[in-house]
Amino acid sequence: MKWTGVFPAATTQFAPDLSIDIKATQDVLDALIKDGVHGLVVMGTCGENNSLEPEEKIRVLEAACEVVNKRVPIIVGISEMTTGRGVKFAKEATRIGADCLMVLPAMVYVPKENELVAHFKDIAAATDLPLMLYNNPNAYRVNIGANVLSQLTEVKNIVAVKESSPDTKRYTDLYNAFGDRYLMMAGLDDVAYEGLLLGAKGWISGLTSAFPQESVALVAALEKGDLKTALAIYRWFMPLLHLDAEHDLVQCIKLAEQIMGRGNERVRKPRYVLEGARRKEIIDMVEQAAITRPTLLSTAA
């Protein structure tokens, strides 16, 4: 498992009847790899994990492993209502060939610290794959704080934290508390630059699905120490990156993909495709970004 670079939180593509379009989903993943991303997150939030049936999750992961064919690592989301379901899918993901599990707190229920610790430990015990814990307190109403992480330090395959809190102090506070025990991954697009400067090893990104080359160029510039170039890309990208923190981020990202010719915007209920003024706002933003794309991609690789 390589942790550096850009890992788009890839979308799951649906047919007009809202069944899973396996071919279109594979095409999205293949195109992202060809554009230079360093890994893929499959069936995270943008992959509409909680809109998929258990057997569909298996089909999507099998299709992802088939098309990726070990060219880049695959991180698969473990986002379930109960710990038991999380354990079951962790075992399936291990069997199918995922490279890493991105483990969320159990959905809907807001756990106490001891319940959260037990949830992560049980899933970790079900696999020999590395685990990345997904901290997104704004979305999931629970914070994976230092107290929780201190109780997990002996679990060897819990190795990373995807940090999707807007509080960038977390990178320094967790480093000061744990040193290099936990790899940090920037997980919220509109503070990704800051996270990468503060020690995140890589960037798990939503808007990369629409603009992968620019995302790769941004991280490449940071790795070279070219902060001026990285900041120029980041400032250009920021209006779209803010969408990653919105409740309708999945619809926004899928619409952006569609505009850029990289997928379709179809989503499953309870989500609806964007309509009215919101739809026009996002279309205008994506089209503006497309016509003002940075002219420095040739120097990014």
Give the span between the Cα atoms of 182 and 93, in whole angstroms: 22
The reply to whether 162 belongs to the active site is yes
Which of 134, 140, 182, 193 is catalytic? The answer is: 134
Residue 159 pairs in a beta bridge with: none
In a 13 Å sphere around the CA of 14, the CA atoms on its Cβ side amount to 21
Which of 57, 140, 162, 234 is catalytic? The answer is: 162
Q: What sign for the dihedral angle of Cα 219, 220, 222, 223?
A: positive
- Under DSSP, the state recorded for 105 is P
Question: What b/e string do you get for 231-264 counting C-beta neighbours within 10 Å, with b at 16 or more?
Answer: ebbbebbeebbebbbeebbbbbbbbbbbbbebbb
| Distance separating the N- and C-terminal Cα atoms of the chain | 21
Nearest to 103 by CA among 41, 54, 55: 41
Give the span between the Cα atoms of 20 and 45, in whole angstroms: 16
The reply to whether 175 belongs to the active site is no
Nearest to 215 by CA among 51, 40, 67: 40
Helix (H, G, I), strand (E, B) or coil at 51: helix
Give the span between the Cα atoms of 111 and 121, in whole angstroms: 14
Active site residues: 134, 162
